[in-house]
Structure 1
Amino acid sequence: MRENRSLRRALALTLASTLLWGVAHIWTGRTRTGLTLAAVWLTLLSAGVTVLGNAPTLPLRRLDVVVAAGAALAVAWVAVIVWSWLVIRPRRVRFGLPLLAVAGLCVLVAAPLGYASRLAYVSNEVVSSVFVADDPAPQVVTPVVDPWAGRERLNVLLVGADSAENRPGARTDSMTVASVDTRTGESVLFSLPRNLQNVPVDGFPPAALLNEVFQWGEDHGRSGADLLKSTVGDILGLDVDYYAMVDMRGFAQIINAMGGVTVKVPHDIVFGAYREGLIKAGTHHLNGTQALWFGRSRTDSDDYQRMGRQKCLLNAVAEQADPLKVLRGFERIADVTKRYVSTDIPRSLVPDLIDLAPKVKGADIKSLQFVPPLIRTGDPDWELIQEKVDEALGERTRPIAATPAAKPKADKPVDLDESCA
């Protein structure tokens, strides 16, 4: 009976030492060691709470440090648990269930830290592979009150690129500028059709289409992404800060890694070169392949209907990409991202974008598509496009950027489309 009480006390003190380092040592008279362990633990806990409380995304700025720190903490914590058991265990207890209980405590502590370190490692690989390296000058990582330096809007060009085996290069068939209010997260999506002509680019063939600008720049010794970004900015009259381009081959894999996406299909959608696929009208949970065709099919429809479906799909993905889904498919999403996503967003801005994301998700997201009858794609009215952008952003007094001569203005107003119904 005495041995049972001693064993229960030893296990209880080991558990207490797991929650607060040093308890078992203090109980056995090793007061100095116990107090030292407790002080170290409280210091680590206080530091962690302070960092996460003041800047929840601060660890994302140094993911390599997070990986090392997580692994070191796991090893140290397990060592404290084992050490506590060794100093408190009854002498006659060697093996059996008590030892399994202590091992279980070690696993319970080490597994989450190991998983967190793994996520940090994978995240660090993604950030290093996809995002642009910052200025090599040393930077002091400190919490920033306004990471946007007074900039009221962030304009990011979102591009869906389509490449095929039967033609060289890539065509940017989906081009949308997301203009985000950095204070509230309220956003407006400006979508440009792929078949705009007379694009304001020096030397670019007038009959060529907007979706050919990227590859034309690459073929003429220029950065296709930079040229497309500046061209779209000139058309809209906006300063486009960054771009993010997804190869459509990877889009389906990202949707699958999320577990699919639910969308309202307005009417039957036929897809495939030989009409081999069909998505029936109604609300459906689509897998990656179905979502890809939902956004890209033009069979029995046109570019403008496709643009509307693409906008609906982007909204659905943004709304349904909850943290749990992303976490479950994190490594698959990370692998696809490294292979199929490119951007010029600097690495140092990633934590601030993560901070901004909940505001965007919780705020209004509106959209404006520059398609007929508002815009004639073969002979666009550039000034009208910029005026409509100003109206959407509430900036009616901003001067219009220099573009080709304006055409007669349309009298029909265009409402911001707020639904996918």
Structure 2
Amino acid sequence: MSQASLASSQPVRYPDSGSQPVMTRRAWVLVVLNILIPGSAQLLAGNRRLGRFGVGATFVLWALIIAAGLTFLLSRSTILTIASMSISLIAIALVLAFYAVLWLILTLDTLRLVRLIKAAPSARGWVAGLATILLVATSGTAAYGAFVATTASNFVSNVFITAPPKPAIDGRYNIMLLGGDSGPDRDGLRPDSITVVSIDAATGAATMIGLPRNMEYVPFSEGSPLAAAYPNGYGADLGCEVSVCLLNSVYTEVELMSPEMYPDAVAQGSEPGIEGMRDAVQGITGLSIQYYALIDMQGFLDLVDSLGGITVDVATAVPIHSDETFTTVAEWIGPGVVHLDGYHALWYARSRHDTSDYDRMARQRQLEEALLEQFTPANVLSQLQGVAAAGTRVVKTDIPQASLGYFVDLASKTKNLPLQNVELVPDNGVDPEDPDYDHIRQLVAAGVAPIPSSDTTGG
């Protein structure tokens, strides 16, 4: 068959290169085909082996996306679980990197096939521009996705443990949050903030229970090593092994003096001091604590900064001190709605001037709620590297990777519901120096009681 006949019957593969209108139309057709079905341009006008590979890979990707979408609709937590496992994230990163390279090759090869020099001069810039936009939109997006997946995988593997999930107890998950107050003038870490987040496993309704760090005569879980050592409460009989026998001293005592009480703690992703605190919090509240999260307060500063700060409504001005005696005020935070960076957020949580521990508890709870509210996918993705880096320094937890998808799904429900608060403070009839633990457990039980269905719609 002659060249003229081939150009007439197959103008895309065998174009009349002397005709600018034909070459211009052909250029547009190939670029658009490369957008719609990557690899099809090569099937029609180039290396058919590369084209078959590209089209086949495109169909495989479509099938994966459709399967993932259907699974998400039918079982959202399954997809979230897969997407939050370290090994799954690595696999996703490799797949995205593969497609980034493939689309780069196909797009550059498409530009070669269109023979821009043969197209009309007025169309060359538009064709090249469209191909470049495609290159950035496809290969660039896939490459960024691979980066996100790799960063997330490193974060997940560094923070969350590999272990089977724990079941809900009485229909709830109870997570102990400890704000670590470490410093050069202290032996070890002392929890400065102690909170239990109790979440309804079905509805996502959450209750935050704030425990004063200065509670005395703390009871421990029945059968625990500390219950055997202090059967009448922490320090109730002959004192304790540290200078003061308060709730937040339990961590220091067990971690520094008696780590042998919890020999398996480290192997299970915890620490002896944390397990001692878990037994104390369970004894106080009457709740079974499945998981903990230890948040370093200095690292908290980096996390807030990585998210671009947080906004809170400051009721009463809070001072920032310029000396270690907390007497000289350098500046004030508030009053009013204030956007805080990490430095100011940390001072807002910890400032002691003309305030009580209960005021600090309220401010810390306010920051926790603000952080949860502003911890959105858009914020996290836009600052992912900083958030992940801060997170590995900030958080230590025994929540397993296998539970992340479930908790992410549950958290989406929690955000749409009113957050309940139970503060174990004097205003609620709790005297930390002489606590009535039966009364405390009644407060907790009432606070975590299921909300009537008519009240679970939020807002």
Q: Which TM-score bucket, shorter chain as reference?
A: 0.7 to 0.9
Q: Residues 23 and 118 of structure 2 are in contact (CA less than 8 Å); yes or no, is this contact kept in structure 1?
A: no
Q: Of 183, 191, 213, which residue of structure 2 is paired with 1:194? A: 213
Name 2:178's counterpart in structure 1.
159
Taking only the aligned residue pairs, the percentage that are identical comes to: 30
Distance 1:150 1:86 in 2: 63
Give the alignment of 1:52-201 within 5 angstroms: 52-55=69-72, 56-57=79-80, 58-61=82-85, 62-89=88-115, 92=118, 97=125, 102-134=131-163, 152-200=171-219, 201=226
Task: Name stretches of at least 5 consecutive residues in structure 2 with no aligned partner.
Answer: 1-17, 73-78, 220-225, 237-243, 263-271, 451-457
Q: Residues 312 and 339 of structure 2 are in contact (CA less than 8 Å); yes or no, is this contact kept in structure 1?
A: yes
Q: CA offsets per residue over residues 29-83 of structure 1, 9 Å max, x none?
A: 9888756643441232121221243144233321111111110111122222233
Distance 1:184 1:49 in 2: 28
Distance 1:147 1:103 in 2: 49
Corresponding pairs, count: 386
1:393 aligns with 2:448: yes
Name 2:400's counterpart in structure 1.
346
Q: Residues 208 and 420 of structure 2 are in contact (CA less than 8 Å); yes or no, is this contact kept in structure 1?
A: yes
1:233 aligns with 2:282: yes
Decide which moves more: 228-237 or 270-279: 270-279
Task: Name stretches of at least 5 consecutive residues in structure 1 with no aligned partner.
Answer: 136-145, 396-417
Judging changes above 3 Å, is the alpha-carbon distance between structure 1 residues 281 and 388 closer, same or farther for their aligned structure 2 residues? Answer: same
1:285 aligns with 2:339: yes
Q: Of 201, 210, 230, which residue of structure 1 is paired with 2:247? A: 210
Name 2:9's counterpart in structure 1.
none
Q: Of 9, 17, 21, which residue of structure 1 is paired with 2:34? A: 17
Judging changes above 3 Å, is the alpha-carbon distance between structure 1 residues 149 and 340 closer, same or farther for their aligned structure 2 residues? Answer: closer
Q: Residues 177 and 196 of structure 2 are in contact (CA less than 8 Å); yes or no, is this contact kept in structure 1?
A: yes
Judging changes above 3 Å, is the alpha-carbon distance between structure 1 residues 295 and 349 closer, same or farther for their aligned structure 2 residues? Answer: same
Judging changes above 3 Å, is the alpha-carbon distance between structure 1 residues 234 and 362 closer, same or farther for their aligned structure 2 residues? Answer: same
Deviation at 1:105, TM superposition (A): 2.9
Judging changes above 3 Å, is the alpha-carbon distance between structure 1 residues 147 and 110 closer, same or farther for their aligned structure 2 residues? Answer: farther
Name 2:265's counterpart in structure 1.
none
Q: Residues 7 and 89 of structure 1 are in contact (CA less than 8 Å); yes or no, is this contact kept in structure 2?
A: no
Distance 2:173 2:199 in 1: 5
Judging changes above 3 Å, is the alpha-carbon distance between structure 1 residues 328 and 65 closer, same or farther for their aligned structure 2 residues? Answer: same
Deviation at 1:238, TM superposition (A): 0.4
Name 1:411's counterpart in structure 2.
none
Judging changes above 3 Å, is the alpha-carbon distance between structure 1 residues 350 and 105 closer, same or farther for their aligned structure 2 residues? Answer: same
Decide which moves more: 221-230 or 122-131: 221-230
Judging changes above 3 Å, is the alpha-carbon distance between structure 1 residues 156 and 275 closer, same or farther for their aligned structure 2 residues? Answer: same
Judging changes above 3 Å, is the alpha-carbon distance between structure 1 residues 314 and 209 closer, same or farther for their aligned structure 2 residues? Answer: same
User: Which amino acid in 2 is paired with 1:214?
Assistant: Y
Name 2:23's counterpart in structure 1.
6
Q: Residues 176 and 191 of structure 1 are in contact (CA less than 8 Å); yes or no, is this contact kept in structure 2?
A: yes
Distance 2:105 2:131 in 1: 11
Judging changes above 3 Å, is the alpha-carbon distance between structure 1 residues 194 and 41 closer, same or farther for their aligned structure 2 residues? Answer: same
Judging changes above 3 Å, is the alpha-carbon distance between structure 1 residues 134 and 293 closer, same or farther for their aligned structure 2 residues? Answer: same
Distance 1:125 1:161 in 2: 23
Judging changes above 3 Å, is the alpha-carbon distance between structure 1 residues 332 and 34 closer, same or farther for their aligned structure 2 residues? Answer: closer
Distance 2:114 2:158 in 1: 49
Distance 2:53 2:391 in 1: 45
Name 1:305's counterpart in structure 2.
359
Moved over 6 A (4+): 29-33
Deviation at 1:100, TM superposition (A): 6.5
TM-score by length of 1: 0.84
Q: CA offsets per residue over residues 269-295 of structure 1, 9 Å max, x none?
A: 123223223112111111111111111
User: Which amino acid in 1 is paired with 2:174?
Assistant: N
Please identify the structure whose Cα radius of gyration is greater: 2
Q: Residues 250 and 336 of structure 1 are in contact (CA less than 8 Å); yes or no, is this contact kept in structure 2?
A: yes
Q: Residues 350 and 360 of structure 2 are in contact (CA less than 8 Å); yes or no, is this contact kept in structure 1?
A: yes
Name 1:401's counterpart in structure 2.
none
Judging changes above 3 Å, is the alpha-carbon distance between structure 1 residues 147 and 86 closer, same or farther for their aligned structure 2 residues? Answer: farther
Deviation at 1:318, TM superposition (A): 1.3
Q: Of 295, 306, 309, which residue of structure 2 is paired with 1:246? A: 295
1:364 aligns with 2:397: no
Q: Residues 270 and 297 of structure 1 are in contact (CA less than 8 Å); yes or no, is this contact kept in structure 2?
A: yes
Q: CA offsets per residue over residues 349-378 of structure 1, 9 Å max, x none?
A: 112211112111111211011011411111
Judging changes above 3 Å, is the alpha-carbon distance between structure 1 residues 115 and 25 closer, same or farther for their aligned structure 2 residues? Answer: closer
Distance 2:141 2:162 in 1: 30
Deviation at 1:28, TM superposition (A): 3.9
Name 1:380's counterpart in structure 2.
435
Q: Residues 23 and 34 of structure 1 are in contact (CA less than 8 Å); yes or no, is this contact kept in structure 2?
A: yes
Q: Residues 270 and 300 of structure 1 are in contact (CA less than 8 Å); yes or no, is this contact kept in structure 2?
A: no
RMSD over aligned CA atoms reads 2.8
Partner of 1:191, secondary structure, is strand
Decide which moves more: 5-14 or 355-364: 5-14
